[in-house]
Amino acid sequence: MSGTQQENGTYEAAAAAGELLRHLLTDRPHYRAAWEREQRRVRRGPAAHAGTGPGASAVARVLALHLWETGERADTETDLPRRLKDRVHRALTGGILSRETLEWFVGAFAMPAQDATALRARWAGSEEGEGSGGAGGAGAAAGQGPIAHTLTAPQFLPLRQRHRTVSVFERHVLGPDGAPLRHRTTRAIMASEDGVTAFPCRLPPGAVGVRVLRGARVTARHELPGSTPVLELTLPAPLAAGQIVSLEYEVAYGPGPRPATEYRRVAHARAENLDLVVEFPRRLRPRRVWWSTWDDHADGRLLSRSPAPLAPDGSVHRFVPALEHAAAGFHWTW
């Protein structure tokens, strides 16, 4: 590995960390408020349009203010925000991300330990906890390490999997009635063989459609026995083995018969760097929430659970370094 790669982790890990960083700055209200405040100053106009991501100039100003306040940079360096802009842009777009820059983000946005740990783990390509405390079950759920081999039987896979997930960010949003409303996924996949042309997206129960936001287009829908519909998301160009591409898509749900009580994430082949968020409606918050593992993809037995506190914005969050042949997620009571 070259010196540059040693400084920045692997390119794959830097891209995964940049992807998570971009989503954190967009989705966490506290972080978003910080860069939107600077964005208003940069633009000298109204606030950024709803739904837009963080601008490099605004984020660079947040970092510069932090470095001036901590004394890491002299306040006479008035051009510091401009000099940081390119570095910020590279970090947020999955390019170069040094450990120094990562720590500037952690300090400038006053990130709590959970978010900081998730970012550092992605940057390092870390799989902390593997081999210490076992694979699945209670130990895996209670800790922060990988979760593996909780499933007692393999789930039916309607199409052969020709990729592996190297990074995934999922935000599961419940509507005012407590039923699923939408689910947004940003996923980086690596081809396991040459000639991978599409990603098979299996619709969850109750889903009515998928809107692809980036990285692919829907080209086919398969109705297969023993499975919910599977959509073929065709990539812009075929992938060679080891090549990585990033996809972003949003699943919409129809009206639910009753409020949901769980969100379960299942992996058969190994999936790495999972960042899972469930967002509860403002006027319908659960009484209790647990982080849990199960022995089945849909029903089965609850193997373990540990309390999962709600954030001030009404969401719960968990970073999992790896999930393999396992089912894990959140369940709650209203």
CA-based Rg of the chain, rounded to a whole angstrom? Answer: 20
- pLDDT value at residue 1: 37
Average confidence (pLDDT) over 224-235:
81
CB-side exposure of 221: number of CA atoms within 13 Å? 7
- pLDDT value at residue 130: 30
Average per-residue pLDDT for the chain: 81
Pick the range with the lowest mean pLDDT from 33-37, 141-145, 241-245, 283-287: 141-145
- pLDDT value at residue 123: 78
- pLDDT value at residue 158: 61
Q: Which residue has the higher pLDDT, 292 or 226?
A: 292
- pLDDT value at residue 144: 61
Note whether 288 and 308 are within 8 A (CB).
no
- pLDDT value at residue 131: 31
Q: How far apart are CA 126 and CA 159, in angstroms?
A: 30
Q: How far apart are CA 313 and CA 279, in angstroms?
A: 8
- pLDDT value at residue 69: 86
- pLDDT above 50 for 138: no
Average confidence (pLDDT) over 153-167:
73
Say which DSSP state 175 is in.
-
Average confidence (pLDDT) over 20-30:
86
DSSP string, 79-116: THHHHHHHHHHHHHTTS---HHHHHHHHHHTT--HHHH
What are the residues facing 254 on neighbouring strands? none
- How many percent of the chain have pLDDT more than 70? 84
Q: How far apart are CA 86 and CA 66, in angstroms?
A: 17
Note whether 267 and 165 are within 8 A (CB).
yes
- pLDDT value at residue 313: 85
Average confidence (pLDDT) over 105-133:
68
- pLDDT band of 3, cuts 50, 70, 90: very low
- pLDDT value at residue 133: 31
Q: Which residue has the tokens 């409020």?
A: 259
- pLDDT value at residue 141: 35
Average confidence (pLDDT) over 147-151:
87
Beta-strand runs (E) in the chain? 147-148, 163-174, 180-191, 196-202, 207-214, 217-222, 230-239, 244-253, 262-267, 271-279, 288-294, 302-307, 315-324, 326-333
- pLDDT value at residue 146: 82
Domain boundaries, the chain: 3-124, 137-333
First CA to last CA across the chain, in angstroms?
51
Summarize pLDDT for 184-225 with one digit per residue, the tens.
998 888 888 899 988 988 888 888 888 998 889 988 888 777
Average confidence (pLDDT) over 115-119:
81
- pLDDT band of 58, cuts 50, 70, 90: very high
Backbone angles phi, psi at 128, to 5 degrees: -60, 140
Note whether 18 and 91 are within 8 A (CB).
yes
Note whether 234 and 217 are within 8 A (CB).
yes
- pLDDT value at residue 288: 94
Q: Strand 288-294 to strand 217-222: parallel, antiparallel, or no bridges (unpaired)?
A: unpaired
137-333 in CATH: which number? 2.60.40
- pLDDT band of 260, cuts 50, 70, 90: very high
